[in-house]
Every structure is written in structure tokens, then in C-alpha cells.
Amino acid sequence: MELRLPELPWCARTDHRGASGDVGMYRDLRRRRALGPAQRLGRRRPSDRGLRAAARSRELDGDPEDHVGFRIREASTGCELAYFSAIGALTPTVVEGLAGADCVFFDGTFWASDELPALGLGAARAEAMAHAPIGGPDGTLVRLAGLAARRRIFVHLNNTNPLLRRDSPERRAVEARGWEVAEDGLEVDL
């Protein structure tokens, strides 16, 4: 299953809540006009490699710009990958969007809701920046416990996330529940 998708449509938040001030990356993207309002994306878009992608943003509950996800299906094998890299809240529709996928890449930006404030790095909580936290009794790790995907991988980790430390208790908790933490160069075969 190859995941290079030329000309795949995308969507992005329009206001970038949680970004403090005119953050360079967002400023540069706005200057290049690459960053604009979230768009209603087509249900399916074929690629030249036998892949089909269904973009999901406005279809997910809550503020449509708080969620970005794709379902990618490899036509010849029927394998499906759910790539949900920015999820503001774990709503029933988000969970439904993950169901049945062979592999799930899921928003792992923050371990805790107060990760940045606890480190003195600002006042914004994870949810205010459109990222549901992994840890805690209502975190995504607990709430996605019934997910049946063969591979479940946290992606898009902030550099403050303790999952990045292989010896952390948080990393052990994630691995004990059958989740992986994405690393540079990760390849997935289904």
C-alpha cells in the first residue's frame, strides 16, 4: 500500500486558534496564499495509483475547522487507512470515521490538556488549539480502546509530548494498549 497521493485536496483551519500571534509558518503560508478557508472537499478523489481518498472535515461533528481527516482506500486490496491528524474533540462522528479502518493514524499532538500551561509555555489548552489530548480518563487513549484497526499510530506529536521519550510512563501506557508512536521514516505494510 503506497500512500503518495498527487494533487490530494486539503483543508485547514481559517483562524488558527491557539497559534500565538503571527507565527512564522502561518504568516508564510498566508503570504503564499496556500492557507485559506476550510473547504468542503469532495467525497472521493481517485489517484493514478489505485487509491481512493475521502476527505472529511465538515462532515465531522463540532466546529468543522477543528477536525481534519482522510480515509484512504487501496483499490486492489481494499485496505483502508484513516488519517485523522487534527481532531479537536473525539465526537461520535469522528469515532465512526475511524471504524473499519485497517490502520489508523491519529492526532497525538498533546498528551495532556494542560501540557503547555504546565510547562510555562502559554495559557492555551490542547482543546483550544483543536487537539484532543491522549491521556487522562477522557483522553483519546481510553476512548478509542475499542478501535479494531490492525495498526493504531499516534502522529503529529508536539515536541512537549512525553510520548517522544521511549522510557516515559506515558509511552509505556500507549504501547500497553496496542498503540504505536510515529517516527521519521515509518513505513506501514498492511
Please give the pLDDT value at position 154. 97
- How many angstroms separate the Cα of 85 from the Cα of each of 10, 67, 104, 123? 12, 8, 10, 22
In a domain, 34, yes or no: no
Q: Are strands 80-87 and 51-56 parallel, antiparallel or unpaired?
A: unpaired
Please give the pLDDT value at position 14. 40
In a domain, 105, yes or no: yes
In a domain, 31, yes or no: no
Please give the pLDDT value at position 128. 87
Q: Which helix (H) or strand (E) holds 27?
A: helix 24-31
CATH code assigned at 86:
3.60.15.10
Asked whether the CA dihedral 163, 169, 173, 176 is positive or negative, the reply is positive
Please give the pLDDT value at position 90. 87
Please give the pLDDT value at position 129. 87
Please give the pLDDT value at position 49. 57
Which 8-state DSSP code applies to residue 126? G
Which 8-state DSSP code applies to residue 61? S
In a domain, 84, yes or no: yes
In a domain, 81, yes or no: yes
Q: How would you class 160 by CB atoms within 10 Å of its CB: exposed for 0-12, middle for 13-18, buried for 19 or more?
A: middle
In a domain, 86, yes or no: yes
Structural domains in the chain (count): 1
In a domain, 190, yes or no: no
pLDDT (tens digit, 0 to 9) for every residue of the chain, 190 residues total?
Answer: 434 333 333 333 444 343 333 333 333 333 434 334 433 334 444 455 566 666 554 444 555 456 778 888 888 888 999 999 889 888 888 888 899 999 999 999 999 999 999 999 999 999 888 899 999 999 999 999 999 999 999 999 999 999 999 999 999 999 999 999 999 888 888 7
Does pTM surpass 0.85?
no
What is the biggest distance separating any 2 CA atoms in the chain, rounded to whole angstroms? 50
Domain boundaries, position 130: 41-181
What is the C-alpha separation between 40 and 89, in angstroms, rounded? Answer: 19
Q: How many CA atoms lie within 13 A of 180 on its CB side?
A: 14
In a domain, 21, yes or no: no
